[in-house]
Structure 1
Amino acid sequence: MIDLLILLLLVAGIVLVTARWKISPFLALMGAAIIGAFAFRLPADEIVTTVTTSFGNTLGNIGLVILFGTMIGVILERSGAAIAMAEALIKVLGTRFPNLTMSIIGYIVSIPVFCDSGYVILNSLRKAITVRTGVSALATSVALMTGLYATHTMVPPTPGPLAAAENLGITDNLGLIIAVGLPVSAVAAVAGLVYATFLSKKEFTPLPAESEQDITTQSYEELRESYGKLPNAFLAFFPILLPLALICAGSIAKLPSHPMGEGTVFDVVAFLGTPVIALIIGLFSAILLLRGNGKMARFNEQIHESIRVSAPILLITGAGAAFGAVLAASSITGFLSDHLTGLGLGLAVPFLIAAALKSAQGSSTVAIVSTSAMLSPLLGSLGLDSPEGMVLSVLAIGAGAMVVSHANDSYFWVVSQLSRIPVATAYRTLTVATAIEGLAGFGAIMVASVFLL
């Protein structure tokens, strides 16, 4: 019982120092790992080894995948490929159903691009469609926000799901996470779309355009022109679809039935489907998006930016793994195993823990990393230690990490301020939308579990 109290105090400490005092999540998780090691009475000569080994192993296994995935996302963002993808989808979908169009655009763009960046990039397009169709800006904002959020928390190569896959030991089966995550996240996005449609006629008094809080007043035409000539639509989609297809093909090749045999074809597909190799190939295909004079200089600049963006995520992922390793080495694992086995909570545990951490401290990525680190030693007692159980656990954590976005979440402010939505209105709409989306995603996961577990 004392060990459970220690665990609760450690989690509360992580939330307190990150949410109230704005301490780096990396330092909070690393501090919790070291303090927890002493509190759980681990042998002093094993503490440093436990922390550093788990930190190093995790970055060795998943670090390059996160880094290359981030590189692809930054190039797509800076080259205008995200705008090119959006325009290609509009040509197919039209603007007759603006909420649906924005939701689908967000759903696809956020697979490689962070949801915050995706909203900044696509906001001018959203405003243009809103004016053209006469639908409420509140509706298109919610549709774009929830579309971006769905894949951001559930579909690799977004860093959060990648880190969770590593912490739970399922990185060799990313293809299954993608294959299940795409339809599950689609259900979550549809739930957000339905709520957005409910808001289609809802009026609100926007923040004044001259407000300092209104981050940008750039029109869509000005944004589009700032990128110069946009990339070809096929080339824009290719760096996303190619690595996803390779990873899925690699997972299929490794199925116990060996559908591709065990010879040269298997070796080639399995190698190309390795996440690091697939993303390296995707990165090289993204280079085709760079045109004109000085493209190598721009490429180098974007690579440096990718390293800057991914560094905090890598550190948080490693620190989360260290915290999880301390928990795994402590007696708390046996205590929780004995008491959780008979409760039948299953996938509700990762969902609820992630939702609590997300709501308390704001960052979806921190919630995903922290929850997966804590959950790893408990998979067996929850009946989730099969490959399918671990995949569903990753998705349940992602669904929980949507619930709920409010004032302590940077994404809440990006959406509300770019869309000029007053804070009170944002609480009643944006926050509610993320709660609906997360719960719908978890419902889809529970349905999937009937067939997979």
Structure 2
Amino acid sequence: MTLVLILIAVIVFIVLATSKYKLHPFLTLILAAFIAAFAYGLPSSSIAKTITSGFGGILGYIGLVIVLGTIIGTILEKSGAAITMADVVIKLLGKRFPTLTMSIIGYLVSIPVFCDSGFVILNSLKQSMANRMRVSSVSMSVALATGLYATHTFVPPTPGPIAAAGNLGLESNLGLVIGVGLLVSAVAAIAGMLWANRFAKVAPDGEGAEALSAENEDYEALKQSYGVLPSPVKAFSPIFIPILLICFGSIANFPSAPLGKDGLYQTLVFLGQPVNALLIGLFLSLPLLKGTNKVTEFSERISEGLVSAAPILLITGAGGAFGAVLKATPIGDYLGSTLSALGVGIFMPFLVSAALKSAQGSSTVALVTTSALVAPLLGQIGLDSEMGRVLTVMAIGAGAMTVSHANDSFFWVVAQFSRMSVNQAYKAQTMATLIQGVSAMFVVYLLSLVLL
């Protein structure tokens, strides 16, 4: 029982430090690792080595993937590729199903672009469509936000799911994580869109709401500000070709060896390794650069991407350090046997992640911390297979979207840009993320019944 009380105390420390005292998650997780190490009685001579090896171990492979994915996302964002993606979806679906269109746009754009940035970029498109199709901007905002949120928490190369997959030993099989993540996130996006439809006739009631109808031309002005937009092929290829390569690499590596063991197999396995696939994606993003001095512009985009990636790298590494300490303690065996007796199984990582997300606000922190926390327990709760680990990532992702409220920066982006009052944003956006998380977890549970 003492082992559990120590773990609870460490989790409470993480929650209070990040939510109440606003301590940076990186320092919080490092301190939590030291606190747990001393509290569990690890030899003092090995504590620093355990923490540094855990920090470096997770970043040794996943770090490059996060950096490359972030740089690609920065280039797509700055070049107007996200606008091109949105235009393609509108042309394909037309204007008959406005909330579905917005949800799909968000779903696609948030694979390479952070959901906060994606909402800001697409806000004027959303408002323009709402005005033209005479649909409430509240409904359209929730549809866009939940579409963005779905792939943000489930689909690599978004950093949170990548870090969780790395902590659970799936860094060489991200294709399977992507495939299952696309399915689970699609259900979450649909659930969010259906909730958004409830607000089809509800007007925003926040400050500046009356001025929204005057913003009809903003989207065209935004498009003009990017100059000549990239073609659909140029816009989609830097992110979808790497995803396809990673998926093909995973298929080639199936135990049944469907592609044999010769030249094609060797080629796909090489190209399907996430670092190699994303490096190809980075080269495919080069035609998106617009300046006369493309080398200088490319260097600037790399610098911007590195600045964006740095906090995520540090949090991910700190999560790896925390996880390494927990693996070195007896808490894994104890909790595993206890939870197995309770039959909680796949719901345990969901509940831990949901509690962390709701308490401190960051989906990435919830994904990193929970995956580090549950990694030592997988064997004891029957999730130590390849698919068990993938579904654990999905369960953690479902928890990491439950719920987005006032301590989450994305909540404020959605509320402020949509001119919703805080009360209205809780009813529309916060409830939507709760429904998304629960719906996604239900799908994960059904998959566990079939696949495990």
| Cα distance in structure 2, aligned partners of 1:257 and 1:95 | 45
Correspondence 1:111-150 to 2 at 5 A? 111-150=111-150
Task: Give 2:356's aligned residue.
Answer: 357
Distance 1:270 1:158, change over 3 A: same
Task: Give 1:286's aligned residue.
Answer: 285
| Cα distance in structure 2, aligned partners of 1:171 and 1:379 | 16
| Cα distance in structure 1, aligned partners of 2:104 and 2:207 | 27
C-alpha deviations, 1:5-43, integer Å up to 9, x for none? 111011010110111111110000000001110010000
TM-score by length of 2: 0.97
Output the amino acid matched with 1:288.
P
| Cα distance in structure 2, aligned partners of 1:451 and 1:76 | 38
**Is contact 1:160-1:368 (8 Å) kept?**
yes
- Residue identity over aligned pairs, in percent, reads 57
Task: Give 2:332's aligned residue.
Answer: 333
Task: Give 1:314's aligned residue.
Answer: 313
Correspondence 1:370-409 to 2 at 5 A? 370-409=369-408
| Cα distance in structure 1, aligned partners of 2:170 and 2:13 | 29
> SS of the counterpart of 1:385?
coil
Task: Return the offset for 1:287.
Answer: 0.8
Task: Return the offset for 1:296.
Answer: 2.4
Task: Give 1:17's aligned residue.
Answer: 17
> SS of the counterpart of 2:173?
helix
| Cα distance in structure 1, aligned partners of 2:197 and 2:120 | 22
| Cα distance in structure 2, aligned partners of 1:384 and 1:408 | 32
C-alpha deviations, 1:309-360, integer Å up to 9, x for none? 0011011001001111111111212221221122221110011000000000
> SS of the counterpart of 2:201?
coil
For the pair 1:418 / 2:446, whether they are aligned, the reply is no
Correspondence 1:132-211 to 2 at 5 A? 132-208=132-208
Task: Give 2:61's aligned residue.
Answer: 61
| Cα distance in structure 2, aligned partners of 1:95 and 1:430 | 23
**Is contact 2:128-2:217 (8 Å) kept?**
no
Task: Give 1:70's aligned residue.
Answer: 70
C-alpha deviations, 1:157-214, integer Å up to 9, x for none? 0000000000000111111111111011100100001111121112332421699xxx
For the pair 1:88 / 2:88, whether they are aligned, the reply is yes
| Cα distance in structure 2, aligned partners of 1:160 and 1:292 | 32
| Cα distance in structure 2, aligned partners of 1:190 and 1:333 | 36
| Cα distance in structure 1, aligned partners of 2:421 and 2:410 | 15
| Cα distance in structure 1, aligned partners of 2:47 and 2:217 | 53
For these two proteins, the number of residue pairs brought into alignment is 449
Show structure 2 runs of 5+ residues with no match: none
> SS of the counterpart of 1:256?
coil
| Cα distance in structure 1, aligned partners of 2:208 and 2:56 | 49
Task: Give 1:367's aligned residue.
Answer: 366
Correspondence 1:205-220 to 2 at 5 A? 205-208=205-208, 219-220=218-219
| Cα distance in structure 1, aligned partners of 2:287 and 2:398 | 34
Task: Return the offset for 1:112.
Answer: 0.9
| Cα distance in structure 1, aligned partners of 2:314 and 2:92 | 41
| Cα distance in structure 1, aligned partners of 2:223 and 2:49 | 52
| Cα distance in structure 1, aligned partners of 2:340 and 2:67 | 37
Task: Give 2:41's aligned residue.
Answer: 41
| Cα distance in structure 1, aligned partners of 2:33 and 2:291 | 49
| Cα distance in structure 1, aligned partners of 2:353 and 2:329 | 22
**Is contact 2:127-2:216 (8 Å) kept?**
no
| Cα distance in structure 1, aligned partners of 2:204 and 2:266 | 58
Correspondence 1:214-293 to 2 at 5 A? 219-293=218-292
Task: Give 2:108's aligned residue.
Answer: 108
Task: Return the offset for 1:291.
Answer: 2.6
> SS of the counterpart of 2:402?
coil
**Is contact 1:209-1:217 (8 Å) kept?**
no
Output the amino acid matched with 1:93.
L
Task: Return the offset for 1:217.
Answer: 10
* Cα-Cα RMSD: 1.4
**Is contact 1:153-1:161 (8 Å) kept?**
yes
